[in-house]
Structure 1
Amino acid sequence: MSQAIDIKVPDIGDFKDVPVIEVFVKVGDTVKAEDPLISLESDKATMDVPAPLGGVVKAIGVKIGDKVSEGSVILQFEGEGAAAAPAEAAKPSVSAPPSPVSAPAGLAEVRIPDIGDFKDVPVIEVFVKVGDTVKAEDPLVSLESDKATMEVPAPLGGVVQEIRVKVGDKVNEGSIIMALATGSASAAAAAPAVSAAAGQAAAPAAAAAASGGIDEAALALAYAGPAVRKLARELSVDLGKVKGTGAHGRIVRTDVEAFAKGGAAAAPAPKAGAAPAGGGVGGVDLLPWPKVDFAKFGPVERKELSRIKKISGANLHRNWVVIPHVTTHDEADITDLEAFRVQMNKELEKSGVKVSMLPFMMKAAVATLKKFPEFNASLDGDGLVLKNYWHIGFAADTPNGLMVPVIRDVDKKNIVEITKEMGELAKLARDGKLKPDQMSGGTFTISSLGGIGGIYFTPIINAPEVSIMGVCKSYWKQHSSDGKTSSWRLTLPLSLSWDHRVIDGAAAARFNVHFANLLADMRRTMF
């Protein structure tokens, strides 16, 4: 006599409330052990939940969009396999998690997690190979953006079954980098995975023939789960030509089946780097850059720009072209503040903390931003987002180029705390180890050339911010308050660049004056 058994989500690592993105079966379907039942997608991995045993689907307890965790009941089986299951497993208890033997975790596609606003980030190292066993948090690949080097860890343990990226490939958030066989399925998957990889490496032509001439590169890059890829291979469907109808363009089972029956191919994607219609900037065609053989005029030497300079250069150019910059110059009397800073450093000498002028400027910036909130904002379409937090970025000069770490919640930190955090972030920047979240979320930036020289300059706004303060090296200058007597005062040059779509000249002038007054007497920051 057949019995019913609840099928539950097996061990999926530390993931909780993972969305169901596909249901592969319907009531009445007969399935075999290891057939995929549903597909889940976390922020780091896509994984199919396989049938732990054979049977007939009696009821389905989830739908696309539902969120599940380990132990959640997803459907109910009846059949001979279910009848043979242990009595404990037959009890409809959500709280009792399934055993690893009865519910193998199957395959998990590992994706690039949230890496901030970075796009097309190159893979600079792959730490694993097919057949390797990895634990959760083991590094899988290393990426290098224009501002940081970051490692992508394994979201859960398993055996590497397939690697879909190589050094030099460019990835984004959500890009699939490899597939792991997890849970009890990992042991069975390890050996075949190794042999399959070896076979493909030794005979790529034979592998292509075995898959019906499918473009394996397109298959690896397609936005689809392991079960859908398996089905595509069985039906000799090239996923590179299939248009996904699932959420965010995901290719689902019905897309593959429809294509196999003669469905239309998706429109080819535009080639990377292709210019948009209209070309140039803002639809205006630009003249081609002049090509000159400089060697005709004398000896030359070519030096490639660093990766950071290449990408930050593109960002700076975009900001300069898109944002209508205006720069307002002023100066601040920092004579008394400098004397206080020197005294403070004497008192802190034993602690090893050495305070620069920049933390004081950050505190003055916060007080000024609170008085002029449109400077602590971002444009969003036709609206202005006014931010009620004050995260101040500071431009850090590194061997590889300019980087902008961000000090969060400057309003809640004292001068010493800001100094210590600046030192830590500056060191990470020089070592190329800044993480994306340590360079994001800024509301205002200060670019200081104080340690080098200069008087005034035009700093480029760090989008999506609407203003930036540039400061140069302070110098001694004679000041007169009454036109009759004068005295030498230490003067700090200020250069405030602002987005004219948001800010007008009068507001910018007032901002500079208020900022300068605070630096002249930091007691004013208390009001």
Structure 2
Amino acid sequence: MAERIEICVPDIGDFEDIEVVEILVAKGDAIEFDDPLVSIESDKATMEIPSTAGGVVAEIRVAEGDRVSEGSVLVVLEVAADAATNSFDEPPAPEKVPEPAVSPPVETRPAETSAAPGSGAGEAPLVVNTPSRRDISPAASRPVPDREGVPHASPLARRFARELGVPIEKTPGSGPAGRVLVDDLKQQVRERFAGQVTPAATGGGAGIPAVPAVDFARFGPVEEVDLTRVQKVAGPGLHRSWLNVPHVTQNDEADITELERFRAERKAAAAEHGVRISPLVLVMKAVVVVLRDFPKFRSSLAPEGDRLILKDYYHLGVAVDTDQGLVVPVIRDVDRKGVFELAAEVADVAERARARKLGPDDLAGACFTISSLGGIGGGHFSPIVNAPEVAILGLSKTRIAPVWEGPSPLEPSDGGDSPLAEGAGTFVPRITLPFSLSYDHRVIDGADAVRFTSRLARVLAHPTFLLL
């Protein structure tokens, strides 16, 4: 006898109302455990939701453009009775859906099912991975919340509103019961930039004149190409950081000749562990050493702007270049991991990022970010701070540079030979790493930034820190 079970959105971390961007199954498909069902897109990444059971797809409960949260039903599977029993110990009791305070109560009933061989028509489907069931809100509906009371909104939406300076109580909500979603706030900002809403005296760039539209076809052939999904999602975040954070970039360089020698000496040992030690991995370890001495660089500014939140952990974001755009997975507890372990983990998250297999937990919790362009080329650049972090380190391509070894020609002479006299010193080739530190000037002063980069250069020049 076949039974029906509901496959729901599992725990996806501190995320709500995430858009479904692609349906990966069709009605009648036979699927197995862990097969992907839908692709969803948060403000950080695109990810696939796998099935928690195998069976035949009887119903698809979502469509592209719908918004889902933990517990939202994605599909209904038809499975053998013994398989349904083995999928979980006890089917959870059906949860009562509270009646809305304003709108008429919505009748809740088991999903309609068509009779199938060996199945009981009208049986209520079992529920898998659903601690609570939440409504799915089509993006088209935009009821306005009660202006007299406190608007319904998630903590994420409220924080987003504060960062953009958008009055949340004046934002139409498209979620259940008029709940204000992050996309509603983005729409409010877009309308302001387009001149459809009178700008208020708020921060976050509201009221900045829009770039005028230009008909480029007047000048020659043109082609329009859609941005990738990652670019569409990341773009507003980069724009928000640029508008809200007063950026300053400090450029410096480090002599990493000894560090490269250290890396070469451990190449064979790394191969035995099945990993390759990249310069990035060693820089991550060096950054942790410096962050211990400069805790302000691993802090965040409180939303009210009157205090710092100091983080007593060393989770580093690492920018990864993918065909969809830039993704920043997080490597946790860098201070507690050895070089080989870090090398394996960095390679793993980079591979999963390019395969679009990262989950929400892989993208959250960084206290500091590193963006490396060294494998491509170029000199110094100005990375954008990944707010609410307050600093980001950019690594450029290493180069061989002549470095003076001997008395400094800038030091005053003591009456002896000139520092530049023959035999007093010489230029020697050294491996040099250019790097750039962008920081939030509200939190970090220029003097502290120079102290940070100078300390980092010294640590990289003497890799004994890796033996500690």
TM-score scaled to structure 1, two decimals?
A: 0.59
Which residue of 2 is the match for residue 319 of structure 1? 241
- After alignment, is 294-303 or 342-351 more displaced? 342-351
1:477–1:490 CA contact under 8 A, matched in 2: yes
1:112–1:177 CA contact under 8 A, matched in 2: no
Q: Cα distance, 1:125 vs. partner?
A: 1.0
Report the secondary structure of 2:431's partner residue.
strand
2:316–2:330 CA contact under 8 A, matched in 1: yes
In structure 2, the CA distance between the partners of 1:503 and 1:159, relative to structure 1 (3 Å rule), is same
2:204–2:240 CA contact under 8 A, matched in 1: no
2:68–2:136 CA contact under 8 A, matched in 1: no
Q: Cα distance, 1:311 vs. partner?
A: 1.1
Pick one of 455, 463, 468 that aligns with 1:514: 455
In structure 2, the CA distance between the partners of 1:324 and 1:358, relative to structure 1 (3 Å rule), is same
Residue 388 of structure 2 corresponds to residue 464 of structure 1: yes
2:16–2:68 CA contact under 8 A, matched in 1: no
The Cα offsets for residues 191-248 of structure 1, whole Å up to 9 and x where unpaired, read as: 94237xxxxxxxxxxxxxxxxxxxxxxx96479xxxxxxxxxxxxxx9x8998x9x97
Residue 318 of structure 2 corresponds to residue 394 of structure 1: yes
2:254–2:433 CA contact under 8 A, matched in 1: yes
Unaligned stretches of 5+ in structure 1? 1-105, 196-218, 224-237, 251-265
In structure 2, the CA distance between the partners of 1:175 and 1:321, relative to structure 1 (3 Å rule), is farther
Q: Equivalents in 1 of 2:362, 2:225: separation in Å?
A: 30
Which residue of 2 is the match for residue 454 of structure 1? 378
Which residue of 1 is the match for residue 251 of structure 2? 329
Residue 20 of structure 2 corresponds to residue 122 of structure 1: yes
Q: Cα distance, 1:299 vs. partner?
A: 1.8
1:518–1:525 CA contact under 8 A, matched in 2: no
Matches within 5 A, 1:101-116: 110=8, 113-116=11-14
Q: Equivalents in 2 of 1:221, 1:443: separation in Å?
A: 33
Pick one of 22, 31, 46 that aligns with 1:148: 46
**Relative CO higher for 1 or 2, CA cutoff 8 Å, sep ≥ 6?**
2
Pick one of 484, 488, 492 that aligns with 2:433: 492
2:246–2:442 CA contact under 8 A, matched in 1: yes
Q: Equivalents in 2 of 1:152, 1:360: separation in Å?
A: 35
Report the secondary structure of 1:143's partner residue.
strand
Runs of 4+ residues over 6 Å off in structure 1 = 106-109, 132-138, 156-162, 178-182, 240-243, 247-250, 266-271
The Cα offsets for residues 443-484 of structure 1, whole Å up to 9 and x where unpaired, read as: 111111111111111011112211111110111222225224
In structure 2, the CA distance between the partners of 1:511 and 1:410, relative to structure 1 (3 Å rule), is same
User: Which one-letter code corresponds to 1:442 in the other structure?
Assistant: A
Residue 114 of structure 2 corresponds to residue 194 of structure 1: yes
Q: Cα distance, 1:157 vs. partner?
A: 10
Residue 464 of structure 2 corresponds to residue 523 of structure 1: yes
Q: Equivalents in 1 of 2:451, 2:144: separation in Å?
A: 58
Report the secondary structure of 1:193's partner residue.
coil
User: Which one-letter code corresponds to 1:114 in the other structure?
Assistant: I
Which residue of 1 is the match for residue 413 of structure 2? none
Report the secondary structure of 1:363's partner residue.
helix
Pick one of 368, 383, 407 that aligns with 1:482: 407
1:126–1:166 CA contact under 8 A, matched in 2: no
Matches within 5 A, 1:206-221: 221=136
The Cα offsets for residues 83-129 of structure 1, whole Å up to 9 and x where unpaired, read as: xxxxxxxxxxxxxxxxxxxxxxx998945633445764333115365
2:10–2:71 CA contact under 8 A, matched in 1: yes
Q: Cα distance, 1:365 vs. partner?
A: 0.4
In structure 2, the CA distance between the partners of 1:488 and 1:190, relative to structure 1 (3 Å rule), is same
Matches within 5 A, 1:187-266: 192-194=112-114, 221=136
Matches within 5 A, 1:131-146: 140-145=37-42
In structure 2, the CA distance between the partners of 1:464 and 1:163, relative to structure 1 (3 Å rule), is same
Which residue of 1 is the match for residue 364 of structure 2? 440
Residue 278 of structure 2 corresponds to residue 278 of structure 1: no
TM-score scaled to structure 2, two decimals?
A: 0.66
Q: Cα distance, 1:509 vs. partner?
A: 0.8
1:392–1:407 CA contact under 8 A, matched in 2: yes
In structure 2, the CA distance between the partners of 1:194 and 1:113, relative to structure 1 (3 Å rule), is farther
Q: Equivalents in 2 of 1:241, 1:109: separation in Å?
A: 31
Q: Equivalents in 1 of 2:144, 2:199: separation in Å?
A: 28
Q: Cα distance, 1:378 vs. partner?
A: 1.5
1:325–1:499 CA contact under 8 A, matched in 2: yes
Q: Percent identity?
A: 42
Report the secondary structure of 1:194's partner residue.
coil
1:148–1:436 CA contact under 8 A, matched in 2: no
1:126–1:141 CA contact under 8 A, matched in 2: yes
User: Which one-letter code corresponds to 2:299 in the other structure?
Assistant: A
Q: Equivalents in 1 of 2:347, 2:178: separation in Å?
A: 51
User: Which one-letter code corresponds to 2:407 in the other structure?
Assistant: D
Q: Equivalents in 2 of 1:463, 1:402: separation in Å?
A: 15
Pick one of 444, 450, 457 that aligns with 1:503: 444
Q: Cα distance, 1:430 vs. partner?
A: 1.1
Residue 65 of structure 2 corresponds to residue 168 of structure 1: yes
User: Which one-letter code corresponds to 1:336 in the other structure?
Assistant: E
User: Which one-letter code corresponds to 1:113 in the other structure?
Assistant: D
2:275–2:340 CA contact under 8 A, matched in 1: yes
Q: Cα distance, 1:249 vs. partner?
A: 8.6
Q: How many equivalent residue pairs?
A: 365
1:378–1:465 CA contact under 8 A, matched in 2: yes
2:145–2:179 CA contact under 8 A, matched in 1: no
Q: Equivalents in 2 of 1:492, 1:140: separation in Å?
A: 45
In structure 2, the CA distance between the partners of 1:368 and 1:161, relative to structure 1 (3 Å rule), is same
Q: Cα distance, 1:135 vs. partner?
A: 9.7
In structure 2, the CA distance between the partners of 1:297 and 1:172, relative to structure 1 (3 Å rule), is farther
- Pick the structure with greater CA Rg: 1
RMSD: 4.2
1:458–1:470 CA contact under 8 A, matched in 2: yes
Q: Equivalents in 2 of 1:396, 1:454: separation in Å?
A: 17
Q: Cα distance, 1:525 vs. partner?
A: 5.6
